[in-house]
């Protein structure tokens, strides 16, 4: 595995790849089994694999956890080596951004749900992802379904800007007890960690109801709230894959989204129906 730190190094490497498919996995580091599953899928499906680790400041709002975000560079390098990554791109902020930038504006649906409490967050996400796409020019790029709104917006950006990239959605990876893997899980104390299991339990309950032909969204949301009655729920929403609210479950076109807070930590999870 070769570690790249500069734009020039990455451009030289990319220009020398003239054959085969390129799989790309963008991350912010603190890699866990969820990231590893993306990297392994990219490795299985492509001739060359590029992973980026860049803690992107433009997607953090004032007061958020940018400064405290977990940073595990040495462990991350070892993980990428074990996963047989070909190139690991690890730029710093001055490499990726100039003092004045051309900005990317996310569409209106970026200001609901995650965007409602984090206005401008998705502008920063799309800005850095587009930069990384332009640098790596991948055949396939891999994103987890856990960040469902982010995934949908990246898919739209690829369509709208006519980017010749396949976006590959990857299933959520969970702990054995059901908690969705997240770099922010390390912020939870033991009591919060146990309470957080109610998030995935509520989604399991929703899936069971849908399996019994219960398609009324109000009923499903009410049942989920009962399961999570002791949690600080930020939202439970049911949308179609265009992120439009729906009243009735549409099979193969529905996402059930949950966010709950544990102190200063927000955990999100979802179920694709």
Q: Which is nearest to 138 in space by CA: 3, 29, 48, 12? A: 48
110 is in an annotated binding site: no
Give the phi and the psi of residue 219 in degrees, each rounded to 5.
-65, -45
Check the annotation: does 116 bind a ligand.
Answer: no
CA distance 196 to 194: 5
Q: How many helices (H) and strands (E) does the chain have?
A: 9, 9
Q: Is 147 annotated for ligand binding?
A: yes
Instruction: Kindly give, in sequence order, each residue whose CB lies less than 8 Å from that of residue 48, ignoring residues fewer than 6 positions away.
Output: 17, 20, 21, 22, 23, 86, 87
CATH number for the domain formed by residue range(s) 183-272? 3.30.1300.10
Q: How many CB atoms lie within 10 A of CB 209?
A: 17
Q: Residue 171 has what pLDDT?
A: 96
Q: Is 183 annotated as a binding residue?
A: yes
- CATH 3.40.50.620 is right for the domain spanning 2-170: yes
Alpha-carbon distance of 227 to 204, in angstroms, equals 10
- State yes or no: 35 annotated in a binding site: yes
Enumerate the domain spans of the chain. 2-170, 183-272
SS3 234: strand
Euclidean distance between CA atoms 127 and 132, whole angstroms: 9
**Cβ(136)–Cβ(50) below 8 Å:** yes
CA distances from 204 to 173, 269, 271 (A): 14, 11, 8
The catalytic residues are 35
Residue from 48, 41, 51, 57 nearest 73 by CA? 51
Q: Is 34 annotated as a binding residue?
A: yes
Cα–Cα nearest to 146, from 259, 55, 223: 259
Residue 60, token pair as written in the block: 């953090």
To the question of whether residue 266 is assigned a binding role by annotation, the answer is no
CA angle at residue 267 from 263 to 270, to 5 degrees?
150
pLDDT per residue as tens, the chain (273 positions): 999 999 999 999 999 999 999 999 999 999 999 999 999 999 999 999 999 999 999 999 888 878 888 899 999 999 999 999 999 999 999 999 999 999 999 999 999 999 998 899 999 999 999 999 999 999 999 999 999 999 999 999 999 999 999 999 999 999 999 999 998 898 999 999 999 999 999 999 999 999 999 999 999 999 999 999 999 999 999 999 999 999 999 999 999 999 999 998 999 999 999
Q: How many residues does the chain have?
A: 273
Element (H, E) at 53: strand 48-53
**173 labelled as ligand-binding?**
yes
170's tokens: 């990857």
């Amino acid at each position: 595995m070769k570690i790249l730190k500069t734009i020039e190094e990455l451009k030289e490497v990319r220009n020398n790849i003239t054959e085969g498919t390129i799989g790309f996995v963008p991350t912010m580091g603190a890699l866990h089994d969820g990231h590893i599953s993306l990297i392994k899928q990219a490795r299985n499906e492509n001739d060359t694999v590029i992973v980026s680790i860049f803690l992107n400041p433009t997607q953090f709002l004032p007061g958020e956890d940018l400064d405290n975000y977990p940073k595990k560079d040495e462990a991350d390098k070892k993980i990428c080596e074990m996963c047989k990554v070909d190139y690991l791109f690890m730029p710093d902020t001055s490499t990726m951004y100039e003092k004045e930038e051309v900005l990317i504006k996310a569409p209106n649906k970026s200001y609901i749900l995650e965007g409602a409490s984090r206005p401008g967050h998705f502008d920063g996400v799309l800005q850095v992802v587009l930069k990384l796409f332009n640098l790596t020019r991948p055949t396939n790029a891999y994103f987890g379904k856990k960040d469902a709104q982010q995934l949908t917006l990246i898919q739209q950006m690829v369509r709208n800007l006519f980017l010749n990239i396949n976006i590959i959605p990857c299933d959520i990876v969970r702990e054995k007890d059901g908690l969705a893997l997240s770099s922010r899980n390390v912020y939870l104390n033991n009591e919060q960690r146990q309470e957080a299991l109610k998030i995935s339990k509520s989604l399991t309950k929703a899936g069971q109801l849908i399996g019994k032909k219960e398609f009324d969204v109000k009923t499903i949301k009410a049942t989920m709230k009962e399961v999570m009655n002791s949690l600080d729920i930020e939202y439970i929403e049911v949308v179609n894959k265009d992120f439009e609210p729906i009243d009735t479950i549409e099979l193969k076109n529905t996402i059930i989204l949950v966010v709950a807070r544990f102190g200063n930590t927000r955990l999100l999870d979802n179920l694709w129906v």
